[in-house]
Amino acid sequence: MENHLRGIVEAYEREEVVNYYVAGWFNPGLRPTEEALIEKYFPKGGRILNVGCGAGRETFPLAEKGFEVVAIDITPKLLFFARKRNEELGQKVEFVLCDACHLPFRDGSFNSYYMTPVMLQYISGRQNRIRLLREAKRVLRPNGTCLVSFLHLEFASLSLLLRAFRRGIAEPETGGQGSGIGREKAKGGESQKLGDLVQKVKKGLKIAWTESTFGIWFEVYWFFANLYRRGRRRWLKEKHQGPEVGDYRYIVRAGRHREELEWVFYHYYTPRESLEDVKQAGFNVLEIVTMKEFEDKFFLSALRKGVYRFYVLI
């Protein structure tokens, strides 16, 4: 097993973490955002690959909805509890221990692919993350739907600094239908059309501003941070891969025990990078949504700022 994966497994096998993910069966279960996107995009009764299932928070509700679910994870202890729960519930989910970058499934064997939020970011090295996405494309049938989420830190950090802009943080361009789930389409005559046009122009300007200004600050910050890290490593004669723009460390959460747990590798995406990577893997973006579009309450304050973006890919 590769080094950075070993760190993930060690962190996720800790008792507090296991208890936290086992508790996820009951709270929160499938989140409203997940529910809305799955209802809209995954064909009923189809075969789903659930990636990074952990103890099965999202797996069992999917099985209860009538999907044929195959669920994978890299942490044996979490899969142990997931399998136990599977028996208790009398479900027929197939759990497989494997790395999402190397899937042991034939080409075109799934209708849908669902990767749990906070997983892709654990993969160290851009080529490995693209490889993971290519694997997703490979195991999907033609026109199969892939639902993954990306964490865009600059939306969080800059929105803290520029509260005035918090509500105005725009969607990155999707090249698809835009972000329309759950919103009512505007109806009306000419004045409404003019209003729509004004809104579109405003949104376009906002996107240009966000992408050109905020994105650059994110990259400038990481340029200097990585310069420092490289220098430090050379000084200490440490041999490491990277770092790349957006490479960071993250603490594996387990409710209130947060401080006691270990740091693991973590990668924050820029919107440009995520769009390039999904393209390189052979996907087209159908829609991009934030959790705040569906949920009034958030279990992480960062979600309120739209840092997680669900990408619907085909």
Ligand X SMILES: C[S@@+](CC[C@H](N)C(=O)[O-])C[C@H]1O[C@@H](n2cnc3c(N)ncnc32)[C@H](O)[C@@H]1O
Alpha carbon separation from 2 to 128, 160, 191, 243 (Å, rounded): 11, 36, 59, 17
x-or-dash string of contact with ligand X, 280-299, rule CB under 6 A: --------------------
Can you tell me which residue has the tokens 């075109």? 108
CB of 254 to ligand X, least distance (A): 10
Q: Which residues of 29-42 are buried (b: 16+ CB within 10 A; e: fewer)?
A: ebbebbbbbbeebb
* Dihedral in degrees, nearest 10, Cα atoms 127, 132, 133, 138: 120
Told to check if 86 binds ligand X by CB under 6 A, we report no
Q: Provide the 10 A C-beta neighbour count for residue 279.
A: 15
* Among 78, 82, 136, 291, interactor with ligand X by CB under 6 A: 78
CB of 120 to ligand X, least distance (A): 9
160 close to 275: Cβ distance less than 8 angstroms: no
DSSP 213: I
Q: Say how far apart CA 98 and CA 52 lie, in whole Å.
A: 10
CB of 146 to ligand X, least distance (A): 15
Q: Which structure tokens are listed for 211?
A: 């992408």
Rank residues 75 and 290 by Cβ distance to ligand X and give the closer one.
75
Return the range that interacts with ligand X (CB under 6 A); candidates 73-81, 87-95, 204-212, 283-291: 73-81
Q: Which structure tokens are listed for 223?
A: 């340029």
Q: Provide the 10 A C-beta neighbour count for residue 231.
A: 10
CB of 123 to ligand X, least distance (A): 6
x-or-dash string of contact with ligand X, 105-144, rule CB under 6 A: -----------x-xx--x----------------------
Q: Say how far apart CA 60 and CA 193 lie, in whole Å.
A: 45
* Among 42, 57, 70, 156, interactor with ligand X by CB under 6 A: 57
Max distance between CA atoms of the chain, in angstroms, equals: 69
Question: Site residues for ligand X, window 232-271 (CB under 6 A)?
Answer: none
Question: Site residues for ligand X, window 11-40 (CB under 6 A)?
Answer: 12, 21, 24
Q: Of all residues in this chain, which one has the CB nearest to ligand X in the complex?
A: 54
Q: Say how far apart CA 22 and CA 68 lie, in whole Å.
A: 22
* Among 52, 61, 215, 243, interactor with ligand X by CB under 6 A: 52
Q: Say how far apart CA 4 and CA 72 lie, in whole Å.
A: 18
Rank residues 73 and 273 by Cβ distance to ligand X and give the closer one.
73
Return the range that interacts with ligand X (CB under 6 A); candidates 36-44, 97-105, 193-201, 211-219: 97-105
Question: Residues binding ligand X: what is the number (CB under 6 A)?
Answer: 22
DSSP 179: S
* Among 41, 62, 69, 73, interactor with ligand X by CB under 6 A: 73
Return the range that interacts with ligand X (CB under 6 A); candidates 5-13, 150-158, 182-190, 232-240: 5-13
Binding site for ligand X (CB under 6 A): 5, 8, 12, 21, 24, 52-54, 57-58, 72-75, 78, 99-101, 116, 118-119, 122
